[in-house]
Structure 1
Amino acid sequence: MKWAIIYCHCHLAMIPARLLHLACLLAFSGNALAVSADLSQLSLEELMAIEITSVAKKSQRLAEAAAAIHVITTEDIQRAGVTSLAEALRLAPGVHIGQIDGNKWSVSVRGFGGRWAGQLLVLMDGRSIYSPLFGGVYWDVQDTLLEDIERIEVIRGPGGTLWGANAVNGVINIITKKAADTQGGLAYARAGTHDNEAGFRYGTELGSGMHLRGYAKLTSREPFDLTDHAPYQNGTPIGTPGSEAHDGWSMQRAGFRLDNELSGSDQFTLQGDVYDGDVDQTAVTVSPAQAGNVLVPETARVNGANLLARWQRRLGEGELQVQLYADRAERREAVLRQRIDTWDFDLQHRFRLGQSQEIVWGGGYRLVSGELVGSNTVSFSQTKDDTALYNLFVQDEIRLRPDLVLTLGSKFEHNEATGMAPQPSARLLWQMDDSQALWAAWSRAVRTPSHSDRDITLKLTNLAPFNPISYRGSRQFDSERLTAYEAGWRKQFRPDLSGDLALFYYDYDDLRSLEQVLPPFPPTYVFGNLFRAKSYGFELSGAWQVTPDWRLRASYSRLHLDAEPEPGSTDTFTEATIEGSGPKNQFQLHSHARLRQDLDLDAMFYYVDSVQNQAVGDYSRLDLRLAWRPRKDLELSLVGQNLLDDRHFEFTGQDSAASDVPRSLYAQARWRF
């Protein structure tokens, strides 16, 4: 137990004593659970040897990556008992998840949280799910069969050199399993106090080297209760705190994946998804008839589809890859109707240059077409818009000596709004010995303007007589810029004990500001680039295989953000918004134990500090999962979430009423055939 005691002591001053006490009880309680059966999971050494692809756009061992990266495996997802992609990301150090209501989340890495967290690029099998309209991700429609996820690679830090714009604070790549790894049938059903879902998947072999799978799932989630922590939304009372919120959610989704080994060196993948659903929400709208704001409970209709094709050819020690995808997303809400179509082409080529260099280069083209229908509350100066983007990147990995690797590269990306944006980086990895490595990185990244940054008119608050305060986009709005300095250390202390430390210092320029337009009445604010910020912090994580059947994981994250206006700015709002965009301290401890060959007990404890300048206090969360396998092909599980409180508040909504996250229970049956 020596390692666990040292870990807790290091941060005793930063975490309330009662939470440390609970966390230590959670860790030590596993002693009574240990039996001789092995966990059906990878060892710590095998986890460090997991092949990842998001850091260098090639397959490499996790231990060799010169970046702050964490891998969430398929077993991590299942044993944590999470039921959505957004909730699964809680498992990664340095990631802040704040649930806003029953169907909305703030997902951020190292600050800048919000429903529209534009500093984070999220991909699914290499397909961007970043919204070009507002920036960020519509998490209510991003989903798949969680059992089909192979891993989620979470990079904390800029990834613009390879992945392009908006990969500022981090990159999340959700990677699904190959069709050959999902053969046979899977069916499951889940019922609970707030969460009900059923899903089906079947995989088959169509011929030599050709495999296909298809899936379908139905989701229905009950509404939460209105919070008393944020009784007003844009100056309007949201309703009686504690009463039922209008934030239920239902979704139908289906998809497929086809993998074909065309030859010994060629692979082809074709995959796609369709979805359709209803999302309940309470929007704040401007009403000229009532000369003020009104709350509108509504059911937004959402639907969409995507199709991706990828061809890969092995070229000796190199590889050539071509990928194309098309994506359509539609939303019909009270304040805005939108249809966004995306077509994307990407090519990359990897080859060796001599004995000590490996080069990856490539380019791409993306066309985004949008059609918008606004309202009195939200409108756009361009309701139909086609935006083209093209890019070229190159990265050179140079082995200076057997234990020292230098990686240099840059992406050159052009968009019609801001022109060319280079995003260079330099990374150095020192493999000190077989068990530990040091790395350091310098990089630059940009967030390009979303459509709303340049074209939106938003009317949120009214003065009497009817006189709305307006927020407008600007055609002069430029890219936000980051210069990042990072360093890290990984150590495999013993086969059963590993640790990881990542440090960062970020310098932001040209951040979005709200500049008042003269004359000051009626009040009008225009988006500008007159804010800057600095942030620094670290993430410390460790894993301990206490016995063959009991594993502990722990992590602590520290973040400090300072923001200030540039000379000449009239903005008095953004400083508080940026500095209050994430918690300073986060801590989590996970215990995974196999009581016997057919019985698992998992416990996940989270502590999240208060969020400055929001009505979000600190909270602790405990999730428990008990899973029993009466037969090899059948698993029955019972999961309790948020067990420490009846309810708690996690994050403030930006465009809808916020809710408390309640204590919840669900039971699930999963059958493989």
Structure 2
Amino acid sequence: MSRRFPFLVYAASLCANALAQPVSFEEEEKALSRIYGGEEMVSIASGYKQPISKAPSIATVITAADIKQIGATDIDEVLETVPGLHVERNTIGYNPIYTFRGIFSQFNQQVLMMINGIPITNAYTGSRSEVWGGMPVQDIARIEVVRGPGSAVYGADAFAGVINVITKTKQDIEGTEVGGRVGSFDTYDGWGLHGGEWAGFDVALALEYHKTAGQNSIVDADLQSQFDTLLGTNASLAPGPVNLSRDNLDARLDLSRGNWRFRGGLQHRSDWGNATGVAQALDPVNRFGSDRWNADLTYHSDEIDNWDLTTQLSYFETSQEIERNLTLFPAGTTLPIGANGQIGAGAPVTFPSGYIGNPEVWERHIRISQSFAYTGFQQHQLRSGIGFNYDSLFKARVSQNFGIDPATGTPIPSQPGIPLIDVSNTSSTFIPTVDRKVAYLFLQDQWNFANDWSLTAGARYDRYSDFGNTFNPRAALIWEARYDLTAKLMYGSAFRAPSFQEMYIINNPAQLGNPTLKPETMENIELGFDYRPLDNLHLGLNFFNFWWNDIIRFVPDANTTTSTAQNTGTQHGYGTEIEAEWQAIDTLKITGNYAYQESRDETLNFDAGYAPQHQVYLRLNWEFLPEWSFSPQAKWIVGRSRGFGDARAPIGDYTWVDLTLRRQNLLKHVDIAFSVRNLFDVDAREPSLAGIPQAAIPNDLPLASRVFFGEVSFKF
């Protein structure tokens, strides 16, 4: 508490100063217009638009203009600028792990990501997809981020944080834009945007293409290296480069007319390399593919006095497909194989083509919802809604050269040549087809019970077909102490639904599902301050304290090599976040933030590890000549401990610096930009997973070396 006490004293002094200096009504109205007139609005905090300072949560809004200043080419580079959020990396495909406030897990199921307010969560892993492949930024109008729980509004997985990506409409584009980018590691990007009218409809179209060979940082040793040491073999491909090739196509359509809006999209991923290997053994052979289709139809009306009605129907289909064999362990590997044909106690078997398993899944998600908002009461703003979600893993397919051959009942490795056997739709498959039905209702009231005071209170009830009920309340007390200072005291709870993988996976050499799992739960208390002492200066300060319970982990089974998913463990965390935005002069804007967190595994009485204890971010945007801007930024990542049982030294700190130089409106229609990532070519690494008896990748996950990009775009 001693480290946080000075901040509380400072916050209290701000409030006391506000009470001691009354202003006239006219002065206050003028100041409010000046200060909040240009303030960003946020909708995901409560379900309707309101200024960030008055929202019942700690929120960040990043606009398309901000994204340009950052020089970002992918959404991960944008999110890394949010206070208290660090983008770590999964060993599989270097998929992003959006670590909010020290809440880390391999598949990052504790973060809800939405596109235009609709979740894109896969039921199989509970994440955004194992074949994620990044998300381009040209068609993003704004990104809203809430730090802390949001299940009272959005239900499952709005746990550690919520990210809502809002794509561009006709009004955001107004005309046509085409552009291209080239960069290091044979990276090529191209895009086209169009906003206009057609047959009475407002139309927005976006097409974005990305292809890269991927960064080629070297992994020194992997899990196969350990098998080689134990068995005297030499099959490991380490030292060797990570496998991060990508071939992405993103397409979106937005049609609106009157009260109706239709949106559709495709995220196509192919030639997708899995980085350090699915089993943490280098695999240059494998390529994944995926298609993520989405469509939604929304009817919104505010034409009836005091009523705001929204009806929405959405469809989302996603896949995880194998384009080239998933080689869990490389050609020539020798592994101990048990009587079930899996890795375990048994005789060593050599696999000439590698230890191969090709799991594929296809999912569809259908959602229908109806929400109501009523403002007819003098002091209350009510919002309620009901909805139904249907999640279906409707097809699973797998071929492999291990396990039991369902046709013969004998282990596959006992057969000559160790062929690939298709075990789909048999007792030897890795997961059955399964579905989940969710019905929910929620209610929220914003009560302006006194001058400058409001209380937002609400709750949501969810009924799941596979694990039962969950109820999540929230409350936020907001005090507008004066026209430039707002204080918030907030409580929220959340839950994370078990994934299909955690509940139903079978015949896996490492992990097994558990259909009796309960959801993870979260309780969070926050105190926040929003202070705008000058027209050109915005300061934020907040404190948080959370309890993460019933954590789902894979616990080793007795006398076997497998682990089974269990609800076990509690994590407690607390910390502070400070942020500032200062328009120093008309041509110079300075943005920065600092985040501190402590997280402890209460069950093991040990630091939770992985996440940085300190993060510092600083960005300048300097318009040094008309239409010219220079934007350097730096991020310091400090103090990452190892988890329980991991005897390695702490993960090394690093300072990451980027530069972007941009010229706009060249010849009135052309923009050009040049960017450098990792300017000082630091050896930055993200933590690899702990292991028993040692980490599979002992020297962590190397990030890219210095990277250059150049781009040009045309508007007409």
**Fold equivalence (TM over 0.5):** yes
Q: Match for 2:524 among 468, 484, 492? A: 484
Is 1:278 aligned with 2:271? yes
- Partner-residue secondary structure (3-state), 1:531: coil
Deviation at 1:316, TM superposition (A): 2.8
CA contact (8 A) 1:85 1:142 kept: no
Alpha-carbon separation, structure 1, partners of 2:296 and 2:77:
25
Q: 1:633 aligns with which of 639, 660, 669?
A: 669
1:202 has 2:194 as partner: yes
The match for 1:174 is 165
Q: Is the partner of 2:69 in helix, strand or coil?
A: helix
Choose the corresponding residue for 1:49, options 25, 35, 39.
39
Q: Distance in 2 between matches of 1:372 and 1:389?
A: 22
Range moving further from structure 2, 133-142 or 549-558: 133-142
Q: Which amino acid aligns with 1:586?
A: Q
Tell me which of 680, 688, 699 is aligned to 1:644: 680
Q: In the superposition, relative to structure 1, how do residues 114 and 654 fare at CA in structure 2: closer, same or farther (>3 Å)?
A: farther
- Give the Cα–Cα distance (whole angstroms) in 2 for the partners of residues 140 and 524 of structure 1: 25
Q: Does 1:505 align with 2:545?
A: yes
**Residues 81, 495 of structure 1: CA spacing in aligned structure 2 closer, same or farther, 3 A cutoff?**
same
Q: Aligned with 2:475: secondary structure? A: strand
- For 1:76, what is the secondary structure of its paired residue? helix
The separation in 2 between residues aligned to 1:166 and 1:396, in whole angstroms, is 23
After TM superposition, the structure 1 = structure 2 runs for residues 72-111 of structure 1, keeping only pairs within 5 Å, are 72-100=62-90, 104-111=95-102
In the other structure, the counterpart of 1:301 is 289
Match of 1:596? 625
Shift of 1:347: 1.3
Residue of structure 1 in register with 2:51 after alignment:
61
Which letter does structure 2 place at the counterpart of 1:62? I
Q: 2:347 maps to what in 1?
A: none
Equivalent AA in structure 2 for residue 271 of structure 1? G
Match of 1:616 in 2: 651
**After the TM superposition, which residues 119-518 of structure 1 pair with which residues of structure 2 at under 5 Å, given as runs?**
119-138=110-129, 141=132, 146-194=137-185, 195-208=187-200, 210-228=201-219, 231-232=222-223, 235=226, 239-241=237-239, 243-261=240-258, 266-281=259-274, 284=277, 295=283, 297-314=285-302, 315-333=304-322, 334=326, 335-370=358-393, 371-374=395-398, 375=400, 376=402, 382-457=431-506, 459=508, 470-517=510-557
Unaligned runs of 5+ in 2: 1-5, 8-32, 229-235, 327-357, 404-422, 644-649
Structure 2 SS opposite 1:161:
helix
CA contact under 8 A between 1:51 and 1:61: conserved in structure 2? yes
Give the direction of change, closer, same or farther, for the CA distance of 1:595–1:44 in structure 2 (3 Å limit).
farther
Higher relative contact order (CA 8 A, sep 6+): 1
Q: Which amino acid aligns with 1:618?
A: D
Change in 2 beyond 3 A, CA 1:206/1:633: same
Distance 1:650 1:382 in 2: 31
Task: Report the alpha carbon displacement of residue 147 of structure 1 after superposing the two structures with TM.
Answer: 2.8
- Aligned 8 A contact 2:260 2:297 in 1: no
TM-score, normalization by structure 1? 0.84
The match for 1:544 is 582
Distance 1:395 1:77, change over 3 A: same
Report the Cα offset of residue 439 of structure 1. 0.3
Decide which of 538, 561, 566 is 1:528's aligned counterpart. Answer: 566
Local SS of the residue matching 2:479? strand
TM superposition shift of 1:46 = 5.7
Q: Quick one: which amino acid aligns to residue 561 of structure 1?
A: S
When the two structures are aligned, how many residues end up with a matched partner?
Answer: 602
Amino acid at match of 1:182: I
Q: CA deviation at 1:493?
A: 1.3
The whole-number CA distance in structure 1 between the counterparts of 2:107 and 2:535 is: 41
> Could you tell me how far apart the structure 1 residues matched to 2:702 and 2:136 are?
26
Are 1:156 and 1:170, in contact at CA under 8 Å, matched by a contact in 2?
A: yes
**How far off is 1:342 after superposition?**
0.8
* Residue type at the aligned position of 1:617: G
Partner AA of 1:431 in structure 2: E
- Partner SS, residue 452 of structure 1: helix
Question: How has the CA–CA distance of structure 1 residues 294 and 145 changed in structure 2, closer, same or farther, with 3 Å as cutoff?
Answer: closer
In proportion to residue count, which structure has more strand? Answer: 1
SS state of the match for residue 117, structure 1? coil
Give the structure 2 partner of residue 29 of structure 1.
Answer: none
Please tell me whether the aligned partners of residues 122 and 318 of structure 2 are also in contact (alpha carbons under 8 angstroms).
no
1:660 to 703, 710, 713: 703
Pick closer, same or farther for the CA change 1:653–1:149 going to 2, 3 Å.
farther
Distance in 2 between the 1:589 and 1:81 partners? 14
Per the TM alignment, residue 447 of structure 1 is displaced from its structure 2 partner at its CA by: 0.8
- The one-letter amino acid paired with 1:202 is H
Q: Secondary structure of 1:75's partner? A: helix
Deviation at 1:276, TM superposition (A): 4.1
Structure 2 counterpart of 1:322, one-letter code: T
Measured against aligned partners, the alpha-carbon deviations of 1:573-594 in whole angstroms (never above 9, x if no partner) come to xx77x81231111000000010
Question: Aligned partners of 2:141 and 2:636: how far apart in 1?
Answer: 27
Aligned-pair distance for 1:245? 2.4
Q: 1:659 to 1:303 in 2, by over 3 A?
A: farther
C-alpha deviation, 1:647, in angstroms: 3.9
2:352 paired residue number? none
User: What's 1:5 paired with?
Assistant: none
Identical positions, percent: 20
Shift of 1:296: 6.2
Q: Distance in 1 between matches of 2:221 and 2:98?
A: 19
Equivalent residue of 1:523, what SS?
Answer: coil
Change in Cα spacing, 1:671 to 1:81, as seen in structure 2 (3 Å) is same
1:75 corresponds to which letter in structure 2?
Answer: A
Q: Which moved more, 1:408-417 or 1:651-660?
A: 651-660
* Matched letter for residue 611 of structure 2: G
State the Cα distance separating 1:636 from its structure 2 match: 0.9
Alpha-carbon distance in structure 2 between the residues aligned to 1:499 and 1:285: 43
Say which SS state the counterpart of residue 584 (structure 1) adopts.
strand
Q: Deviations over 1:174-230 (max 9, x none)?
A: 11222233221101100011332011122221244x211212222112222344576
8 Å Cα contact 2:246/2:269 also seen in 1 = no
Q: Point out the structure with max Rg over C-alpha.
A: 2
| Cα-to-partner distance string for 1:463-506 (whole Å, 9 max, x where unaligned) | xxxxx5x3222111111111111110010011111100111111
CA distance in 2, matches of 1:110, 1:458: 35
Cα 1:623–1:516 change in 2 (3 A) is closer
* Other-structure match for 1:32: none
Q: CA contact under 8 A between 2:35 and 2:484: conserved in structure 1?
A: no
Per the alignment, do residues 303 and 270 of structure 1 end up closer, same or farther by CA in structure 2, a change over 3 Å counting?
closer
Deviates more, 1:300-309 or 1:538-547: 300-309
